[in-house]
Every structure is written in C-alpha cells, then in structure tokens.
Chain A
Amino acid sequence: MGELGRYALLFAFAIVIYGIVANLIGIKTKNRRLIQSAKQSVLVLVALTTVASASLIYLLVTGNFDYEYVAQYSSTDMPLFYKVTSFWGGNAGSLLLWLWILSIYTTLVTWSKHKDSEIYLPWVSTFLLGIALFFVLVLNTIELPFAPNPKDMNEGNGLNPLLQNPGMAVHPVTLYLGYIGFAVPFAYGMAAIMLKKVDATWLKVTRRWTLVSWLFLSMGILYGSQWAYVELGWGGYWTWDPVENASFLPWLTGTAFLHSAIIQERKGMMKKWNISLVALTFLFTIFGTFLTRSGLLWSVHAFANGPIGAFFFGFIGVIIVGSLALISSRWSLLKAEGGFESAVSRESSFLINNLLLVVSAFTVFLGTVYPVLSEAVTGTKVMVGAPYFNRVNVPIYLALILMMGIGPMLAWKRSSFKELRKNLILPTMVAVIAFLLLAALGVDHWLAILSMSSALFVFLTIVLEFSKAVQARMKATKEPAIRSFFMLFVKNRRRYGGYVAHLGVVFVVIGLTGASVFSLDEQQGLNVGDSINVGDYALEYNGLGASNTETKQITFAEFTVEKNGKVIGAIRPEKVNYTNGSQTTTEVSVINSISEDLYVVLNGFEEKTGRAIIQVKVFPLINWVWFGGYLVIFGSLLSLWPERMRRKREIPRLKMETVRNG
C-alpha cells in the first residue's frame, strides 16, 4: 500500500506539470482539445491524491510500522478514530491533506459552469495547479509521507495525548478547509487580471467560495479556542500565540474582503483594493501553513524545524512577486467606475471597516514576526506578548464594532445626517445610559464599560433594522409579523444572514469582555474537609479518588460546590496518566451557566495525606463567546443557503433583482 501511495504522488507531480503546460499552450494556441485534456488531468490528479491519502490512512489504521510516519504518529492501542486523525498529526501528512483538499477544490472549480467560464477556467485551473505544484514538489522531495522506517519497530509512538480529543482532531481540518478555500478566489482574481476582465464577475462567481472558506476558518478558530479552554488546563482561549495569529490573519483580511467585494459588485469601485486584498489573504493562508510547519517561531504548538522552512519562504516570495507584478501590470485597467460621493455613505463605511481590519491584521503580523525582525535588525530576539496585541487591537476592534452599528444604517451614495440621527438616536441614548449606569455601579474598567455599551449599541441597531424591515413588509404584504420576519431571510438571505452574523459578533464581544476583565482566579492547597471560597462559590473538598481504564490512570479530587449557600452539585477535576505515553494531562471540571463558568483545575496532590492543590477560576459570560461564535456560523450559513426554491416560484421578481444587483 505504501508503494502505491508513493507512486501516486510521483505521478501526481507529473500530471500537475502536464496540466499546467497543457493549459498554457491551450490558451496560447486556442486549442480546445488541449484545454479539455488539461481539464481531464485535474480528474487524474484528484484520483491520485485520493489514492495517496487513502493508502496513508490504510497504513496508519493497520499500524504498518515499516513506514516512518506511521511509527511516529500511530500506535496499535489508539482508537480507530485517532488512527485516522493521525493522518494530519505531522508535517508530511498535513501537507498531503493540503494537497488532497486543494485537488478536490480544483476539480470542483475546473468542472463548474458559470458566466464566461470557458474563458476563465483555463487560467483559474492553471493558477490552482501552480499552487498544487508547490505542495506536490515538497511531498516528493523533503516531506515524504511514505518514507520507510530505518528502525525495526513493533509499536508506534502514538498521537500526542493532548491531540487525542475530538475537537482537536477536527480543528486542523476545518482550518485547512478554510485556508485552502481562499486559493479559489485568489486564482479567479489572478485569472481576471490575466484576461484583463476587471469587472465584478470573478467576485460574483467566487462569493460562495469566499464565504465558505471564511466560515471554515471561523469554525477552526472557534474550535481551537474551545479546545484550548477545556484541554490545556488553565482556561486560556486566546493567547496571541503565533499559530493562533496565523489563523487570525487571513480571517481578518478575509473579513475585509467579504465586505469590500460588495462595493465592487454594486458600485464597480475598489477594484485595486479587492484584488490586492484577495492576494494578501491567500498569502496569509500560506504564511499560516508555513508558520505552523516550519518552526520559524516557537509557540506552544511547537512544530518541527527543517528545510521545509526554506521551501515555504521561496513559495511565499514567488506569490508576492508574481501577484505584485500581475496587479501592477494591469494597474491602469483597475480604475474605479465612480468615486466616493460623500463621506457619510455606505461605501465609505465599508472603506473604514476595511481600513480597520487590514490595519489590525498588519499590527498582528508585526507582533507575530517581531522576534525574527528584531533579531535580523539588532541581533537579539525580542518578543512581544499579549499586552502588545491587546493594547493595539482593542481600540481598533471597538471602532470596528461601532462601525458595525453605524454602517448598515447608512444609505448608498450619500446619507443625510438627519436620517442618520433619526435611526441612531435611540441606540445611542440607551448605550450612553448604559455607560453611565455601569460607571455609577462602580465598574472601574473604562474599556470594559466602553465595549459593553458599544455592544449594546450595535445590538439595538440590528434589532431596529429587523423591526423596521418587518414592519415595512407587513405593510406591503399584509402578512403577520412572524411570517414577515421569516420571509426576510427567504427574500434577502445575504443581507439578513449578515446581520445575524453581526449579532453573533456582539455576543462574542460581550463574552470576551466579561471573561477577560472580570474573571476570578484563586489557587490553594486543601486538606480533606477544607473549603475554599471564590466569588459566589464555596467548594468543600471531599478527598481523592481513582479510576483506571486500560490506557489511562485517572486520579480525581471531589468537591461539593455551593453557590450562594445552596448546593449545586459535585465537581471532579482530574489528572490523567497515560500508561503508554510520557505525558500527564489535566482534565478540568467545569460547571457551565449562562452567566458564568466555574472552572476547577487539579494542579497536584499528595497521595499519602490526600492533600490537593487546586485552582478555581470564574469566567463570567464565557459561554456568550461560544454562543456568539455559533451564531456567526449560523448567520453565514443563512447567507450561503442556495436560493433555488425562490427561483421556481418567483421568476419575474428575481429578474428584477438581478438587474438591480448587477
């Protein structure tokens, strides 16, 4: 099976080169047969990468330790699920997964049909294959998934126990699905430039791709934080770790792109900006893969060093130089069809939103690579920690949130102050009252007050927007309120799905503010019978217990938890020793509620005396973060949902709308 995979990769290399060459010659000589043949080569590619991936999974599942990769990441005693997920446990497998997903995407795109697709697709396919070429090259030269094991082994090392968690097993895949997805709008953008077709076609065709990629990226980030929160054992969910930043950077620029694409679609403006933004986003996805896979910067994620860094570095260089050259060669073509008419308009609010997001991405990037920069310049490595990122970005995000409330209230072209005042007076007043109230209640953290009242402001603007739309619809159609509300989503998914996503962001902001500013943290050694008080909670220590399974030995400490004097249950934080491995892990115990999490960690214990050292934390509103995150996902799904149902029923209406949108 391993030989099969190895040869599949080798042939994949050949077929990628063939596909690129056939496309290029086909475009140049207008040879349809060659282009058709290139199209078929993509099918061969996806078949080959599927064979390679399947054979690696087969080797991992059957535990064939004659292969180095299998010996490193699989072991006979792991459950089947983790044997499969060890596929992306290391460099070679992750890159193979990258290539596999990319070739699936490439096939989907190359065999799709849309307006002007026969002109676009050969170029799009060339660019996508060009990206695949890099990965297939790496997989055939320095990161070999099917390298034979030099040692004779009967048992493998197994996947790191920390990664043996359902969320963590899926997290890299969601992230990759998002990362790689951005290759599609990038390839379309570049194809549009090659073809000198600078209208919004490429944006319309790739809107779904962009949104899906963004959605996967958001899910990846959300799962990652949730995993860190429960699994790492200290309640961290976001630490501005380089690898976290690597996933956040394309998310920031991707978010900017989602918004600015709307302006080009509707107004034919910001063409240069959009094409640059999509290139930047794609660059960040490669940079992210590079960061996690090269070991350029240390992080808790600690990945291996190797020559792969140089390869990625070269590839990033090629993308930067290539896309800069392409974009600048068509610079004059990328002129906007119109200018900004007023500073107070929907257009300019999108512009500000983009500026804020991209500047934030830039500051995050700067902080992430600062150790490398400072070492190059001064010779000493200087790192910047979370305080830098927070201090710079919290004000930017506050401004963004305010824009999120104001922006949708503005009309296209120009908005009158009078109308704006009418729309914003209620939310502003309530937000100001909330601000004063919080200050009067003695909350002495002005940023927290500001962020809470801004979130409230945005919440109200969204509610108002919905209620206005429902009222207008009820008036026009005489439908009852609930049906009107529901019909908003049927009629204009994109817009109202977007508002739901905004609403999700509001919850995330409230949750993050609560969990970061108002959290409690106590640490204490307790003897049996002792108790500890944290916030409204009292924990009484009942003693240690143990339970063993085949693969692990668990020791837990049991506590009876009282909240405001009432017993609400027992809690059992654990320490787990893996019998095969070299690691101990901490399993925290959490009592969730809407208002806060009680988070208890067993830090250590003495067996003889039964003494336990525990850490008790209270994270207010943390569940709002998760809820908000899922709401963002739900909102994006709403805007993504195909509108085919409507097409059947209301053909004339749809035609009218297409004209308006175009």
Chain B
Amino acid sequence: MSKKVKVIVAFVLFFGVVGTLVYTSISSAATFYMTVDELKGNEQQAMGKPVKISGEIVGDSVEFDSDEILLTFEIRGKDDPTFRVPIEYTGVKPDSMNDGWEAIVEGELTQDGTFIATEVLVKCPSKYEAMEEDGEEPPKDDPATEETSEGGN
C-alpha cells in the first residue's frame, strides 16, 4: 500500500468512528424542546419521549413538601395564560420560584397531563432588561412562594 492510501484509510476510519459516535449519541441524547404555548394542542405528540418545556411559573401554585421532597407547581403560556401544565418534581426547590419567571423543565408528559420532571431550571434573568422592554416591572418578592427566613435560634 502506498503512503497516500494508508493516510486516506486512516482518515476514513477516524472520521467514520467519530461520525458514528456523533450520530448515535445525538439520537440517544436528543430532547424535544417546546414552549408551553407550542405544547397546547400537541400533547399527544409530546408524550412518551424526553421533552423540555419552558413556561412562566404560576406563583400561587408552588408547593413544596419537605417530607417527601416533592415540588409541585404549574407553568403557564405566554400567549395563553389560562393554559397551564402541572409539574411534579422529586427534588429540591430552586431558589427563585417567582411568579412570572421562566422555568424550564425536563422530563416526560404523562397520560393525565401531569409533567414528571427530572430537572427544573429557573432562568435567572442576568438582568431585568427583557422584562423592562416589555414594559413590565422586574419581579418583586412574592411572599407566598418564598420561605421567610426570620427567627431561628
């Protein structure tokens, strides 16, 4: 075999391996992403596969059971605030579960419409710029959704 052929074979092998690796990993690590508004009407499609959904937190709905370490809350659509998805998450309550803040949940939608989340992320506005552009005030502390931290010893 000439040197050139050897080099070409090595390259083909290398890129073949990497390509296969990329291809198989992408298909197995893929998560569909949609907003709550996009989910509305497409629930059947979204069931039974890993999905990420983003929506606004409904402040009044946030409940945390500290014995079970179970967090339940709802997220609503931006276009249609009446459309809500109930979320169940076994795990820690993120710090900033404020009304109107955007949450991104990863998990699976069950038949009864409840979303069982494996991960909850509250998008921290690095600034309140986007909201101000919409003419809204930056969110203020909602006492119903935060633990108070006075008292103690």
Q: Are A and B part of the same complex? A: yes
Query: Which residues of A does B touch, CB under 8 Å?
Result: 72-73, 89-91, 157, 160, 162-163, 233-234, 298, 300-306, 343, 355, 359, 363, 366-367, 370-371, 380-388, 391-392, 395-396, 523, 525, 543-546, 553-555, 575, 577, 581-586, 601, 603-607, 611, 613, 615
Judge whether B93 and A555 touch: CB under 8 Å: no
Judge whether A298 and B54 touch: CB under 8 Å: yes
A523 surroundings in chain B (CB, below 8 A): 69, 91-92
Using A554-B149, A586-B95 as known contacts, say yes or no to A525 and B66 having CB atoms under 8 A apart.
yes
Report which of A304, A343, A363, A387 forms a contact with B18, defined as CB distance below 8 A. A363
From A299, which residue of chain B is reached at the shortest CB distance?
A: B123
Judge whether B129 and A381 touch: CB under 8 Å: no
Using A391-B21, A545-B153, A604-B92 as known contacts, say yes or no to A582 and B98 having CB atoms under 8 A apart.
yes
Judge whether B124 and A555 touch: CB under 8 Å: no
Min Cβ gap B86→A in Å is 20
Most buried by A among B66, B127, B148: B127
B31 is an interface residue with CB less than 8 A from chain A: yes
Judge whether B64 and A383 touch: CB under 8 Å: no
A577 surroundings in chain B (CB, below 8 A): 146, 149
From B54, which residue of chain A is reached at the shortest CB distance?
A: A298
**25 pairs across A/B with beta carbons < 8 Å?**
A72-B127, A89-B127, A91-B129, A160-B127, A298-B104, A304-B129, A380-B33, A383-B30, A383-B31, A383-B52, A387-B28, A387-B29, A392-B18, A525-B66, A525-B69, A545-B152, A546-B151, A553-B150, A575-B149, A581-B141, A582-B138, A601-B92, A603-B69, A604-B93, A605-B66
B34 surroundings in chain A (CB, below 8 A): 380-381
Report which of A72, A380, A392 forms a contact with B22, defined as CB distance below 8 A. A392
B52 surroundings in chain A (CB, below 8 A): 383
- Determine the distance from Cα of A72 to Cα of B138 in the docked complex, in whole angstroms: 10
- Determine the distance from Cα of A90 to Cα of B133 in the docked complex, in whole angstroms: 14
B3 surroundings in chain A (CB, below 8 A): 343
- Determine the distance from Cα of A575 to Cα of B33 in the docked complex, in whole angstroms: 32
| B31-61 CB contacts (< 8 Å) to partner A | 31-34, 52, 54
Most buried by A among B34, B126, B138, B140: B126
A363 surroundings in chain B (CB, below 8 A): 18, 22
- Determine the distance from Cα of A392 to Cα of B102 in the docked complex, in whole angstroms: 31
Q: How many residues of B contact A (CB 8 A)?
A: 53
Query: Which residues of B does A touch, CB under 8 Å?
Result: 3, 6, 14-15, 18, 21-22, 25-26, 28-34, 52, 54, 64, 66-67, 69, 91-93, 95-96, 98, 102, 104, 121, 123-130, 132-133, 138-141, 146-153
Judge whether B123 and A555 touch: CB under 8 Å: no
Beyond A391-B25, A554-B149, 5 additional contacts (C-beta under 8 Å) are A302-B123, A303-B127, A363-B22, A584-B146, A601-B92
A386 surroundings in chain B (CB, below 8 A): 29
Min Cβ gap B7→A in Å is 8
Min Cβ gap B5→A in Å is 13
A-B contact count (CB 8 A): 160
From A579, which residue of chain B is reached at the shortest CB distance?
A: B141
B127 surroundings in chain A (CB, below 8 A): 72-73, 89-90, 157, 160, 303-304
Min Cβ gap A149→B in Å is 10
A163 surroundings in chain B (CB, below 8 A): 126
A72 surroundings in chain B (CB, below 8 A): 127-129, 132
Interface on chain A toward B: helix, strand, loop, or mixed SS? mixed
Most buried by A among B3, B92, B152: B152
B132 surroundings in chain A (CB, below 8 A): 72
From B14, which residue of chain A is reached at the shortest CB distance?
A: A355
A382 surroundings in chain B (CB, below 8 A): 30-33
Min Cβ gap A77→B in Å is 16
From A68, which residue of chain B is reached at the shortest CB distance?
A: B132
Using A157-B138, A391-B29 as known contacts, say yes or no to A615 and B149 having CB atoms under 8 A apart.
no
- Determine the distance from Cα of A54 to Cα of B14 in the docked complex, in whole angstroms: 52
- Determine the distance from Cα of A184 to Cα of B66 in the docked complex, in whole angstroms: 55
Using A300-B124, A584-B95 as known contacts, say yes or no to A381 and B32 having CB atoms under 8 A apart.
yes
Judge whether B26 and A388 touch: CB under 8 Å: yes
A367 surroundings in chain B (CB, below 8 A): 26
From B151, which residue of chain A is reached at the shortest CB distance?
A: A607
Report which of A300, A355, A581, A586 forms a contact with B121, defined as CB distance below 8 A. A300
The 7 closest A-B pairs by CB, nearest first: A546-B152, A388-B29, A381-B33, A387-B29, A555-B149, A603-B92, A391-B25
From B129, which residue of chain A is reached at the shortest CB distance?
A: A304
- Determine the distance from Cα of A383 to Cα of B148 in the docked complex, in whole angstroms: 37
B31 surroundings in chain A (CB, below 8 A): 382-385
B28 surroundings in chain A (CB, below 8 A): 387-388
Report which of A380, A525, A546 forms a contact with B150, defined as CB distance below 8 A. A546
From A575, which residue of chain B is reached at the shortest CB distance?
A: B149
- Determine the distance from Cα of A391 to Cα of B28 in the docked complex, in whole angstroms: 10
From B34, which residue of chain A is reached at the shortest CB distance?
A: A381
A575 surroundings in chain B (CB, below 8 A): 95, 147, 149
B18 surroundings in chain A (CB, below 8 A): 359, 363, 392, 396
From B64, which residue of chain A is reached at the shortest CB distance?
A: A604
Min Cβ gap B152→A in Å is 3
Judge whether B152 and A301 touch: CB under 8 Å: no
Using A72-B127, A382-B31 as known contacts, say yes or no to A543 and B92 having CB atoms under 8 A apart.
no
Judge whether B147 and A607 touch: CB under 8 Å: yes
From B7, which residue of chain A is reached at the shortest CB distance?
A: A343
- Determine the distance from Cα of A91 to Cα of B125 in the docked complex, in whole angstroms: 13
From A556, which residue of chain B is reached at the shortest CB distance?
A: B152
Report which of A160, A304, A543, A586 forms a contact with B124, defined as CB distance below 8 A. A160
From A614, which residue of chain B is reached at the shortest CB distance?
A: B92
- Determine the distance from Cα of A451 to Cα of B17 in the docked complex, in whole angstroms: 19
Min Cβ gap B131→A in Å is 10
B64 surroundings in chain A (CB, below 8 A): 604
Report which of A302, A388, A396, A601 forms a contact with B125, defined as CB distance below 8 A. A302
- Determine the distance from Cα of A355 to Cα of B93 in the docked complex, in whole angstroms: 44
From A602, which residue of chain B is reached at the shortest CB distance?
A: B92
Using A355-B14, A546-B149 as known contacts, say yes or no to A302 and B126 having CB atoms under 8 A apart.
yes
- Determine the distance from Cα of A73 to Cα of B132 in the docked complex, in whole angstroms: 13
A298 surroundings in chain B (CB, below 8 A): 54, 104, 123
Judge whether B92 and A583 touch: CB under 8 Å: no
- Determine the distance from Cα of A218 to Cα of B4 in the docked complex, in whole angstroms: 37
B15 surroundings in chain A (CB, below 8 A): 359
Min Cβ gap B107→A in Å is 12
Min Cβ gap A169→B in Å is 13
Report which of A89, A388, A606 forms a contact with B66, defined as CB distance below 8 A. A606
A601 surroundings in chain B (CB, below 8 A): 92
- Determine the distance from Cα of A615 to Cα of B34 in the docked complex, in whole angstroms: 30
Min Cβ gap A371→B in Å is 6
Judge whether A162 and B149 touch: CB under 8 Å: no
A90 surroundings in chain B (CB, below 8 A): 126-127, 129
Min Cβ gap A550→B in Å is 15
From A151, which residue of chain B is reached at the shortest CB distance?
A: B132
Min Cβ gap B19→A in Å is 10
